[in-house]
């Protein structure tokens, strides 16, 4: 399967005669073929026009049709077979087994959203029957349900070339909601993006959907801004760095018509180690933490960035076990050379801060590992110093964490309360610890979207109860999640139809409930 390197607009590759870019494989830093064309303003405009033009038709298709489309995308991705996995491996450096798992997650997400829309109750249908005799005024017939917002811009993320990229969770949930999608592919895996875009187009053809329902746009930051600024765009899904996300958020909010921007930006994912848990199982925690920090070469948004304990012999023992574990951890290939360089430069800045000590560095000899290497590193400081130095609060993307020693329970509490918004917060605690540290557990619930007890934050389940989104600045909108079935709610708004005759109502709101969905009838949930 030969890649063409072009933008794909309304189902067809379009030639853009401007600049091209070429990604270098992180495995050996060699440039990968072909070069990819950056989208012209015309290509961007046409992608949005196509999306807008087919919105009415796509939205009016039954939920069954949307479910079939999502399943067809999953099937077409699987049909790409090893070609897709090898391309993603070349471009991202991620091992084939990880990519095989990520592909499973990607098609699993698509099929999960298919099941959600096939079942149909997610539209939160509500029917208030009319009360014609009510005094002083009658109540009209009111029926409400969620409807799609319109064309959605999705930014592919570098760290999940399949699961959070072209046909990832944002795209799957937007299609499920009934929104056409324009993806800004991540420039660190353009070939993977092209392959998956082909799978989506094939699925649209198989399902007889208008091809404007999906376009893939290549380019850099200005291309991203142009997409977000476009008047026909109605919402944006973004996973990436805080700086890029906040800049795009600003673009979305300063449009003449501001649009919702769902940015999943960055997080320290603090891990609190309570005294009794360290007494009981410090080795187990040390090993688990090492695993969580080095998983995927530390390139997960839920990687623990700070680990906090209270000074004492148990903490000291844990620290030395953790040090030993990290020193034995191997380096890995990072997603691209730019990330590897940022990792080194962040480590240099962090280490140069007062009272920050280089605590553990991998001692595995991997000089022979070519390409973009990331080496496990732990720095250490005091809670007082951490609270004072906001530079230590920056997310470091890579196999790194900061070990923080608090003098007392009060200082640990103070640190917790000083934190900004987080995707996750983790606590290792015995039952005794839980009773002794209730204020800490309460404080963390105001800081994070997910609270993990006696586990590790990496590994984000795609399920109904998942919440992947916390208070600002971990995400731009803590009221929504980018992972799990509730992610579909990001792309919708409620509409109320008053006094509509039965024949003009969508199936979801008809009297006899032909879809058999759960609805609020006069405030009572019923099928």
Q: What is the 3-state secondary structure (H, E, C) of 436-471?
A: HCHHHHHHHHCCEEEEEECCCCCCCCCCCCCCCCCC
CB of 416 to a copy of itself, least distance (A): 13
For a copy of itself, the closer CB: 128 or 324: 128
Spatial separation of the C-alpha atoms in residues 332 and 430, rounded to whole Å: 34
> Of the listed 54, 91, 301, 411, which one is catalytic?
301
Residue 264 falls in the annotated catalytic set = yes
**Which of these segments, 159-167, 171-179, 381-389, 472-480, binds a copy of itself (CB under 8 A)?**
472-480
Residue 480's φ and ψ, nearest 5 degrees, are -130, 165
Torsion angle of C-alpha atoms 307, 311, 312, 318, degrees rounded to 10: 20
Q: What is the 3-state secondary structure (H, E, C) of 10-54?
A: CCEEECCCCCEECCECCCCCCECCCCEECCCHHHHHHHHHHHHHH
Cis peptide before 327 (omega within 30 of 0): no
CB of 450 to a copy of itself, least distance (A): 4
C-alpha gyration radius of the chain: 25
Out of 1, 391, 495, 511, the only residue in the binding site for a copy of itself (CB under 8 A) is 495
CB of 172 to a copy of itself, least distance (A): 16
Out of 76, 299, 362, 481, the only residue in the binding site for a copy of itself (CB under 8 A) is 481
Establish if 151 lies at the interface with a copy of itself (CB under 8 A): no
Out of 258, 291, 370, 516, the only residue in the binding site for a copy of itself (CB under 8 A) is 258
Per the structure block, which two tokens stand in for 280? 């009981």
Output the CA torsion sign for 430, 434, 436, 439.
positive
Out of 245, 260, 263, 270, the only residue in the binding site for a copy of itself (CB under 8 A) is 260
Establish if 474 lies at the interface with a copy of itself (CB under 8 A): no
CB of 25 to a copy of itself, least distance (A): 26
**Which of these segments, 15-23, 147-155, 236-244, 403-411, binds a copy of itself (CB under 8 A)?**
147-155
CB of 13 to a copy of itself, least distance (A): 30
Output the CA torsion sign for 99, 100, 105, 110.
positive
> Of the listed 38, 264, 411, 508, which one is catalytic?
264
Q: E-assigned strands of 156-203?
A: 181-184
Establish if 421 lies at the interface with a copy of itself (CB under 8 A): yes
Given a contact cutoff of 8 angstroms between Cβ atoms, the answer to whether 386 and 402 are in contact is yes
Region of residue 415 (phi > 0: left; psi between -120 and 50: alpha; otherwise: beta): alpha
Out of 66, 189, 323, 450, the only residue in the binding site for a copy of itself (CB under 8 A) is 450
Residue 179 falls in the annotated catalytic set = no
Out of 40, 467, 482, 513, the only residue in the binding site for a copy of itself (CB under 8 A) is 467
Establish if 382 lies at the interface with a copy of itself (CB under 8 A): no
Number of residues in contact with a copy of itself under rule CB under 8 A: 70
**Which of these segments, 223-231, 323-331, 366-374, 499-507, binds a copy of itself (CB under 8 A)?**
499-507
Spatial separation of the C-alpha atoms in residues 204 and 182, rounded to whole Å: 14
Establish if 516 lies at the interface with a copy of itself (CB under 8 A): no
Q: Of 246, 210, 200, 223, which Cα lies nearest the Cα of 395? A: 246
Residue 32's φ and ψ, nearest 5 degrees, are -100, 145
Establish if 78 lies at the interface with a copy of itself (CB under 8 A): no
Establish if 471 lies at the interface with a copy of itself (CB under 8 A): yes
**Which of these segments, 5-13, 82-90, 345-353, 516-524, binds a copy of itself (CB under 8 A)?**
516-524
Residues in the chain: 527
Establish if 498 lies at the interface with a copy of itself (CB under 8 A): yes
For residue 181, what is the DSSP state?
A: E
Spatial separation of the C-alpha atoms in residues 511 and 121, rounded to whole Å: 15
Per the structure block, which two tokens stand in for 120? 């149909």
Given a contact cutoff of 8 angstroms between Cβ atoms, the answer to whether 358 and 322 are in contact is no
CB of 131 to a copy of itself, least distance (A): 10
Helix (H, G, I), strand (E, B) or coil at 127: strand
Looking at the annotation, which residues are catalytic? 264, 301
Q: Which residues bind a copy of itself (CB under 8 A)?
A: 56, 101, 121, 126-128, 136-137, 139-140, 142-144, 147, 149-150, 253, 257-258, 260, 420-421, 431, 434, 441-442, 445-446, 448-455, 459, 461, 463-467, 469, 471-473, 476-479, 481, 485-486, 492-501, 504, 518, 520, 522-523, 525
């Amino acid at each position: 399967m030969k890649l063409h390197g072009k933008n794909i607009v309304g189902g067809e590759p379009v030639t853009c005669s401007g600049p091209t870019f070429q990604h270098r494989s992180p495995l050996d830093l060699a440039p990968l073929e072909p070069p990819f064309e950056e989208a012209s303003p015309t290509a961007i405009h046409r992608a949005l026009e196509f999306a807008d033009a087919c919105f009415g038709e796509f939205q009016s298709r039954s939920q069954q049709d949307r479910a079939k489309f999502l399943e067809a995308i999953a099937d077409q991705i699987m049909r790409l077979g090893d070609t897709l996995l090898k391309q993603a491996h070349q471009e991202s450096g991620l091992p084939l087994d990880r990519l095989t798992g990520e592909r499973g997650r990607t098609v699993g997400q698509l099929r999960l959203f298919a099941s959600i829309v096939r079942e149909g109750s997610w539209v939160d249908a509500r029917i208030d029957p009319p009360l014609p005799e009510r005094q002083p005024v009658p109540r009209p017939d009111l029926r409400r349900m969620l409807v799609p917002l319109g064309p959605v811009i999705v930014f592919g993320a570098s760290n999940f070339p399949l699961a959070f990229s072209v046909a990832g969770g944002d795209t799957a949930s937007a299609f499920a909601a009934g929104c056409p999608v324009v993806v800004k592919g991540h420039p660190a895996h353009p070939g993977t993006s092209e392959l998956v875009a082909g799978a989506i187009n094939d699925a649209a053809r198989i399902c007889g959907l208008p091809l404007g329902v999906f376009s893939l746009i290549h380019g850099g930051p200005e291309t991203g801004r142009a997409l977000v600024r476009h008047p026909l765009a109605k919402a944006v899904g973004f996973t990436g760095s805080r700086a890029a996300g906040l800049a795009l958020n600003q673009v979305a909010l300063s449009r003449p018509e501001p649009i919702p921007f769902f940015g999943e930006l960055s997080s320290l994912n603090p891990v609190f180690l309570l005294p009794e848990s360290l007494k009981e199982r410090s080795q187990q925690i040390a090993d688990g933490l090492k695993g969580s920090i080095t998983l995927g070469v530390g390139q997960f948004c839920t990687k623990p960035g700070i680990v906090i304990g209270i000074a004492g012999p148990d903490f000291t023992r844990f620290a030395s076990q953790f040090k030993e574990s990290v020193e034995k951890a191997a380096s890995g290939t990072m997603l691209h050379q730019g990330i590897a360089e940022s990792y080194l430069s962040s480590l240099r800045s962090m280490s140069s801060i007062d009272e920050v000590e280089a605590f553990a560095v991998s001692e595995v000899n991997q000089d022979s590992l070519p390409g973009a290497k990331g080496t496990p590193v732990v720095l250490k400081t005091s809670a007082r110093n951490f609270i004072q130095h906001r530079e230590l609060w920056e997310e470091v993307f890579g196999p790194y964490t900061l070990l923080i020693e608090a003098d007392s329970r009060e200082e640990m509490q103070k640190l917790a309360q000083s934190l900004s918004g987080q995707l996750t917060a983790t606590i290792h605690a015995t039952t005794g610890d839980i009773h002794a540290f209730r204020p800490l557990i309460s404080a963390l619930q105001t800081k994070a979207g997910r609270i993990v007890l006696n586990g590790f934050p990496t590994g984000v389940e795609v399920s109904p109860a998942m919440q992947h989104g916390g208070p600002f600045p971990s995400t731009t909108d803590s009221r929504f999640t980018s992972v799990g079935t509730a992610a579909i709610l990001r792309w919708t708004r409620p509409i109320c139809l008053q006094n509509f005759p039965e024949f003009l109502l969508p199936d979801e709101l008809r009297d006899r409930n032909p879809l058999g969905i759960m609805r609020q009838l006069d405030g009572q949930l019923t099928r």
